[in-house]
Amino acid sequence: MSEQETVTIEVDGRAVEAVKGEMVIAATDRAGIHIPRFCYHKHLPIAANCRMCLVDVEKAPKPMPACATAVADGMKITTDSQRAIAAQRGVMEFLLINHPLDCPICDQGGECELQDLALGFGRGVSRFTEGKRSVEDEDLGPLVATEMTRCIHCTRCVRFLDTVAGKKELGGMFRGERTEIKTYVGEGIRSELSGNVIDLCPVGALTNKPFRFRARSWEMLSFPAVSPHDGVGSNMELHTLRDRIMRVVPRENEAINQTWLADRDRYGIEGLYSEDRLERPMIKEGGQWREVPWEIALRRAAESLRGVASHFGPEALGALLAPTATLEELYLAGQLVRGLGSGNVDHRLREGDTSDQAEAPPFPYMGQRIEELADKDAVLLVGAYTRHEQPMINHRLRQATNSGAAVMTLNPRRFEWNFEPVLEHAVAPGRMVAELAAVACALAKGGKGKGADLPDGVEALAAKSETAQRIAERLKVAERPAVLAGNMAAGHPEAATLRALGTLVAELAGGPFGVLAEAANTAGGWLAGAVPHRLAGGAEAPLSGLSAREMVERGLRGYLLLNVEPEADLWNPAAARQALSNADSVVAITVYAGDALKESADVLLPMGGFGETAGTFVNSEGRWQSFRGVTSPLGEARPGWKILRALGTVLELEGFELDNAEEVYRIVAAACEGVAPGSRYPFHKGAASAGSASGGTELAGAVPIYSGDPLVRRSQPLQHAAIAGQAEAVAAAETAGRIGATDGGMVRLEAEGGAVELPLRIDEAIPADTIWVPAALRERVDLGPPFGRLTVTAV
């Protein structure tokens, strides 16, 4: 508020500072004076249609809506004068005319703004004897339940979907008493942020569908938590009842998720108590699974890890760690494997190319704060579909476009954005490097001169591309540009080159380069030493090991898996399945015992799931956020760090005498002292690998929004959502025509991993000679990596 002009107004005899031009209600909210309201929300445009906020303004002939009356110096406002109260009571009476009076069966009961205000402003007895209006419900999909008879037409949901989520998916139909809030086409809501309308709806018209009738707001306990599903680290509250997590609601943090929450963060929890949840330690004997006490399972796990290390040498042992694990778990797992003499530790499960790791910054950093993204005026997204990868990052980008920013993309396909990108450059994945190099060249030639000269070898990589030229021109004129590499860039087989070129483009454009983290602890894993070449805090590891991709492709004799599902979480699922079934021993510390895991593992140790473990996530900005376990782990499961501690103790390794998770935190935090975030990936000549030559049909794919981690994959409501990933092959009409395949027909795809048959869908968003197959789905495991070469035939 420092630079803005302030005025002083008087509210109920109290002097209140207000920013010039803001609405009365904003000033009183800040001052802690409550004015009743239904339609006003600080992050939504003002509609002033509910009239609940009427207040008395001195010299005004009638009460004024506080949410739509701008402050003026010396304004005198009374919120509790007779006239104001009478006006509010009148509004309330009108609202209740058509409102059903059955709070006891309403899911909003107990947390309903209408209920609360009716207590303060409602009449004891209704004077209305005529019939009440009732409205037919509409199916908005598996996430939001509707009871539209309860709607009071505040239009918060309409305004949210329009201005924040970016698509007008709901609107007011008909007029006057017959007004109804409906979808325009009757197809439900497709937004990835749809759950927020639940929080916004002041009444029980829109409620949480999976949570429906499960519990009451007053009986649940609320605990702060951090979302495990992406690198944003959205803040949320977990509501628990009798030691079970019931639902998730957002926790306000202006710097991260404001007051919003992506559906993935809200409904991911529905997968927590899935049927294949592992509750007791199990070992495989003669091909049969048997439940055993912890001591036996731990001893067996220790024996098999030791066995591999002594038989085949420690380098035959590797650890694949989930990037959704906590900082503490990642650190201990790294220590464990290193204690056994192996350097094979990695949490970059879905990364295709880590050849730049030696020179990489301490952790993948987005180059700026999340908030700052909203102020950018030009952003180039490389291999990123932020809308599904990091919805809250996308939200900021959308804010930027609202104030005129140009968002450009260089992706292996076009996507459905919720803003207008000024340019979507969709090229076959094998050409992405060439195109990005072309952008760099074009920028260097233009001579903005802010960055370094073009290093040797960039020009040789560059393609002749007019679109790249246009991207460069737009970046050139930008004052606050940024280049961001997303999940698809990380999964690209030439990710390192893309990062180096991205750095270059950003430098030449005079803005930051950033890497958007895929998982909650992608950044934390680097800091905790869950990478093969570095220890906690970034110190060089004495024995450098293999990356996740190498561990899987070369095939080791023994694996330690930390909450990893080999068929969905790894870059090359076909190779992963092969490697694990060939291995002599696989010890899995896991939340779920999926079928694939049961097939390949020998020991299953049940670990506490989300919300059941204390820990820390480090987000893309390098923000450390700790949280505690809010319920006890299911059955005999234990927090991951405790399992690792016990395993370390059984293995008689050093450094595992720990009392609590905070102790681990302190060790990592001490190691990370003085670690400065950075996002510079230097370019080297000859960086591009052999794969860059294009030609033939290319495979491309990204992890669908609700397939990223074991928890979200088990969330049934999300899996049934309209935007959940489907196993299909998508291609442009021309490509399909060349194969001789038709829309809806089956095609056979053969890649290095194997072959699969999938239905084909024709979509012009896919560039020529490219087949898009969503990654991380069970049906496509045989195809191997998300990108590569393949042959297609119509079946």
**Binding positions for ligand FES, rule: CB under 6 A:** 37-40, 48-53, 65, 67
Q: Which does 112 bind (CB under 5 to 8 A by kind): ligand SF4, other proteins, ligand FES, none?
A: ligand SF4
Interaction partner, residue 655 (other proteins, ligand FES, ligand SF4, none; CB < 5-8 Å by kind): none
Q: Rg (Cα) of the chain, in Å, rounded? A: 28
Taking the C-alpha atoms of residue 269 and residue 249, their distance in angstroms, rounded to an integer, is: 11
Q: Which region among 99-107, 368-376, 416-424, 552-560 touches other proteins (by CB under 8 A)?
A: 99-107
Strand partners, 617: 625
Q: Rank residues 109 and 455 by Cβ distance to ligand SF4 and give the closer one.
A: 109
Tell me which of ligand SF4, ligand FES, other proteins, none is bound by residue 124, counting a contact when its beta carbon lies within the kind-specific cut-off of 5 to 8 angstroms. none
455 is a site residue for other proteins (CB under 8 A): no
State the minimum distance, in angstroms, from the CB of residue 115 to other proteins.
12
Of residues 695-714, those binding other proteins (CB under 8 A): none
Between CA 374 and CA 360 the distance in angstroms is 27
Residue 67 binds: one of ligand SF4, ligand FES, other proteins, none (C-beta under 5 to 8 A by kind): ligand FES
Cβ atoms within 10 Å of 161's Cβ, excluding its own: 25
Phi, psi of 501 (to 5 degrees): -70, -35
120 vs 686 by CB, closer to ligand FES: 120
Distance CA 670, CA 774 (A): 40
The only residue of 109, 122, 446, 677 in contact with other proteins, by rule CB under 8 A: 109
Q: Using an 8 Å Cβ cutoff, are 391 and 418 in contact?
A: no
Q: CB of residue 203 vs ligand SF4: minimum separation in angstroms?
A: 3
Nearest by Cα to 10 from 68, 50, 83, 59: 59
The string over 20-38, giving b where at least 16 C-beta atoms fall within 10 Å of a residue's C-beta and e elsewhere, is eebbbbbbbbeeebebbbb
Phi, psi of 176 (to 5 degrees): 55, -135
472 contacts: CB under 8 Å, gap ≥ 6 = 439, 440, 442, 443, 446
Cα 460 → chain centroid:
36
Smallest gap, in angstroms, from Cβ of residue 219 to ligand SF4? 12
Q: Which does 677 bind (CB under 5 to 8 A by kind): other proteins, ligand SF4, ligand FES, none?
A: none
Nearer to other proteins, 174 or 218 (CB): 218
Nearer to ligand FES, 170 or 384 (CB): 170
Q: Which of residues 172-231 bind ligand SF4 (CB under 6 A)?
A: 203-204
In the complex with ligand SF4, the residue whose CB is nearer, 135 or 444, is 135
In angstroms, what is the minimal distance from the CB of 787 to ligand FES? Answer: 50
Instruction: Build a one-symbol-per-residue string for 57-96: x at contacts with other proteins by CB under 8 A, - elsewhere.
Output: ----------------------------------------
Contact with other proteins (CB under 8 A): which of 216, 290, 628, 685? 216
N-terminal to C-terminal alpha carbon distance within the chain: 65
Cα–Cα dist 297/317, whole Å: 19
**Per-residue contact track with other proteins, 155 to 194, x per CB under 8 A?**
----------------------------------------
Check residue 457 for interaction with other proteins (CB under 8 A).
Answer: no
* Residue 423 amino acid letter: L
Instruction: Report the length, in residues, of the chain.
Output: 795
- 212 binds, options other proteins, ligand SF4, ligand FES, none, Cβ within 5 to 8 A by partner type: other proteins
Q: Which does 114 bind (CB under 5 to 8 A by kind): ligand FES, ligand SF4, other proteins, none?
A: ligand SF4
Instruction: Identify the residue among 76, 214, 414, 598 touching other proteins (CB under 8 A).
Output: 214
Q: What amino acid is encoded at 286 in this protein?
A: G
Please select the residue that binds other proteins; options are 105, 173, 358, 539, rule is CB under 8 A: 105
SS3 345: strand
Cα–Cα distance for residue pair 738/599, rounded to 1 Å? 40
**SS3 track for 644-701:** HHHHHHHCCCCCCCCCCHHHHHHHHHHHCCCCCCCCCCCCCCCCCCHHHCCCCCEEEC
| Vertex 226: Cα angle to 405 and 532 (nearest 5) | 90
Q: Which is nearer to other proteins, 107 or 602 (CB)?
A: 107
Tokens encoding 501: 């070129």
H/E stretch holding 640: helix 640-650
Piece of the chain touching other proteins by CB under 8 A; list 102-110, 528-536, 629-637, 742-750: 102-110
d(CA 51, CA 36): 9
Minimum distance between the CB of residue 467 and ligand FES, rounded to whole angstroms?
A: 46
As a whole number of angstroms, the distance between CA 359 and CA 692 comes to 22
Sign of CA dihedral 157, 159, 162, 168: positive
Closest separation in Å from C-beta 161 to ligand FES: 18
How buried is 788 (Cβ within 10 angstroms: 0-12 exposed, 13-18 middle, 19+ buried)? buried
104 near other proteins, rule: CB under 8 A: yes
| Binding of residue 137 to ligand SF4 (CB under 6 A) | no
| Secondary structure letter of residue 317 according to DSSP | E
Q: Tell me which residues in 145-174 interact with ligand SF4 (CB under 6 A).
A: 150
CB closer to ligand FES out of 44 and 630: 44
Q: Which is nearer to ligand SF4, 204 or 633 (CB)?
A: 204
Minimum distance between the CB of residue 213 and other proteins, rounded to whole angstroms? 5
Residues 78-117: x/- map of binding to ligand SF4 (CB under 6 A)?
A: ---------------------xx-xxx-x-xx--x-xx--
The answer to whether 446 contacts other proteins (rule: CB under 8 A) is no
Alpha helices in 456-600 (DSSP H): 458-461, 466-477, 487-491, 495-509, 522-527, 548-554, 566-569, 573-582, 595-600
Q: Which residues bind ligand SF4 (CB under 6 A)?
A: 99-100, 102-104, 106, 108-109, 112, 114-115, 150, 203-204
Binding site for other proteins (CB under 8 A): 103-105, 107, 109, 212-216, 218-219
